[in-house]
Structure 1
């Protein structure tokens, strides 16, 4: 196996040579064998071990074993203790997920702080099959059936092409010692049940199970590439605007597809959406309809769908502006106030008002139902809700709207329209230029 491992490094993972590598080691068969293989291959390795304090003295025994191994092999070792149970409770995670999150966060911290180029884990072919079957039982999409990637960012899995049986044979032949985790024997976890009961029966019926599975993964990854290419082609046509964290899609590009739901799944699943029947219904829903994930929302806006992060919990804005203020920061940018002698043609982000018509302090606030103003150049009083509708503002645009007010009267809808009551006339003595720089 050592020769095959070195050939594998030279052919597929040659970028590891001469780099600073951090091996994640539990003390079990797989990670200990990976350590020996890398040491014999003369790779530049250090070790990182997590003590999750879940198995009392057994956890401490694992740590002592790894410490002894590091001394024997003359490699650097980093250890970290975690109170996994408390972390799981505080973050509402299972123990397994909590341990995974803790260890990977710590590995990345070590990598960043100490300049490790890659983090090596000891996942192997049987782990890949177990993960595939777990995802299959949970009703995953195609991406859940393409297997564990051999390289993912700075995470590399050099043993992914080797079976557990091959690793065990190598360890026994070379008299390598390792620690057995007693929790791996329990079948109360789905992964262990698959490992001890299901997969052995599959191997009995097909001795080439892992080789055939590897070929299946290759076909699935090829299919995944085709899907990705097709989705990207649709997105090039469907995306009509990207504004910071918001993306606007043309609904007609989805409706014309033979299977729009399949594309909606691929486009919006990364943002946490799961109710894809509801998303498909959104294509023909009334304007203003919304669908939510834990982090984002989809909004129907006439002939478009807008993807946006969930709004912040801050529902109110109240900013006071004094007469002596020359500028003031607001959520949209910075308001500037300048007394001028003449006016030029106003724009959306720049207005001119009669200073003597203002009552200080001015305020900036969000709009609310029932607000009204007198649009400059219009035909009298108008509710803001009606003005927004006439201007065809989306729900997101309306939520972001801010008003500049004087004594509860709207001086302007910032970035949209000034109020007739404060305009400059031939009787104006002092002119105030108000501009917004986003």
Structure 2
């Protein structure tokens, strides 16, 4: 009998066809419980997925001093234990973030995905698999909710985006940790995962436990909500496409006849803005009769 984690991975593959047969798969490997479990799951299900090649990619962000190199060494030992091909890349995220004036978390994510794509292309892989799971999806949605977001932000992320696939999309953190313990899988802990100065960690360790006291099936409930919102967002995109064509043909008059929800979406499409205040400023300007110009083709 398969562990429930394996069953959820199989269910997602059958439903969404994330990974085509005969794929070469590069696994983003941090050494934490999630990516360590993903590596073992893909070994277990290699025949089910009909994978041609599976390898690990460890990115050392050089953020946590000696701990970063501890994780890199763990990746080497793990790959050797399970006979994985391993790629290791180092990137000085603190220095890059300082030069760019960026948030270190955002910079690390940007650099990580840049490296994922570079190695994927260079080494001939079809897809990159990451260990993002249902708990990560819930955290992302709650994070966007607290910061203020439209419908797109409340959708979080997809099980497949471009060349990135997330086989654990339907799995909870509890599923993964239970699997790892029962299978005797080793992993390393990232000390920053418990640093409450990070907003995501406060949501993970403070907010979600309280919400689960209200609804113990919080993750599954939010996933169902997301599925409904995703369908509605698809419909709104179709309506927006039609509305944009009408506005391009007829101009301001057609824009003013639109529902406010479509007006906002049309402005986003035509002017490429996402800030709510800027969207509102453009709409108010058009309503007052001021011809707002982004360029000659998009003026209302």
User: What TM-score, normalized by structure 2, do the two folds share?
Assistant: 0.89
- Per the alignment, residue 34 of structure 2 pairs with 30
1:253 deviates by 1.7
Residue 187 of structure 2: SS of its match in structure 1?
Answer: coil
- Structure scoring higher RCO (CA < 8 A, sep ≥ 6) equals 2
1:11 deviates by 4.0
- Per the alignment, residue 21 of structure 2 pairs with 17
Alpha-carbon distance between aligned partners in 2 of 1:74 and 1:282, rounded to the nearest angstrom: 62
1:4 deviates by 4.0
The 1:143–1:20 alpha-carbon spacing in structure 2 relative to 1, beyond 3 Å, is same
Whether the 8 Å CA contact 2:127–2:163 is kept in 1: the answer is: yes
1:127 correspondence with 2:127: no
1:306 correspondence with 2:299: yes
- Per the alignment, residue 149 of structure 1 pairs with 158
The 1:268–1:179 alpha-carbon spacing in structure 2 relative to 1, beyond 3 Å, is farther
Structure 1 gaps of 5+ residues are 241-248, 291-297, 308-438
1:282 correspondence with 2:282: no
- Per the alignment, residue 250 of structure 1 pairs with 251
Whether the 8 Å CA contact 1:24–1:31 is kept in 2: the answer is: yes
Richer in strand (by share): 1
Alpha-carbon distance between aligned partners in 2 of 1:8 and 1:150, rounded to the nearest angstrom: 9
Whether the 8 Å CA contact 1:185–1:192 is kept in 2: the answer is: yes
CA deviation string 1:340-364 (max 9, x = no partner): xxxxxxxxxxxxxxxxxxxxxxxxx
1:148 deviates by 1.2
Alpha-carbon distance between aligned partners in 1 of 2:14 and 2:81, rounded to the nearest angstrom: 26
Return the match for 1:267 from 266, 269, 274: 269
1:180-329 aligned at under 5 Å gives the runs 180-240=189-249, 250-259=251-260, 261-268=263-270, 270-272=272-274, 274=276, 275-283=278-286, 284-287=288-291, 290=293, 298-299=294-295, 305-306=298-299
Residue 299 of structure 2: SS of its match in structure 1?
Answer: strand
Richer in helix (by share): 2
Decide which structure has the larger Cα Rg and report it: 1
Q: State the Cα RMSD in Å.
A: 2.0
Residue 140 of structure 2: SS of its match in structure 1?
Answer: helix
Residue 306 of structure 1: SS of its match in structure 2?
Answer: coil
Return the match for 2:95 from 68, 86, 100: 86
CA deviation string 1:288-330 (max 9, x = no partner): x55xxxxxxx15x6xx7439xxxxxxxxxxxxxxxxxxxxxxx
Whether the 8 Å CA contact 2:267–2:273 is kept in 1: the answer is: no
Whether the 8 Å CA contact 1:123–1:160 is kept in 2: the answer is: yes
Residue 53 of structure 1: SS of its match in structure 2?
Answer: coil
Whether the 8 Å CA contact 2:264–2:283 is kept in 1: the answer is: no
Whether the 8 Å CA contact 1:261–1:276 is kept in 2: the answer is: no
The 1:199–1:72 alpha-carbon spacing in structure 2 relative to 1, beyond 3 Å, is same
Alpha-carbon distance between aligned partners in 1 of 2:214 and 2:275, rounded to the nearest angstrom: 39
1:75 deviates by 1.4
User: What TM-score, normalized by structure 1, do the two folds share?
Assistant: 0.62
Residue 93 of structure 1: SS of its match in structure 2?
Answer: coil
Structure 2 gaps of 5+ residues are none
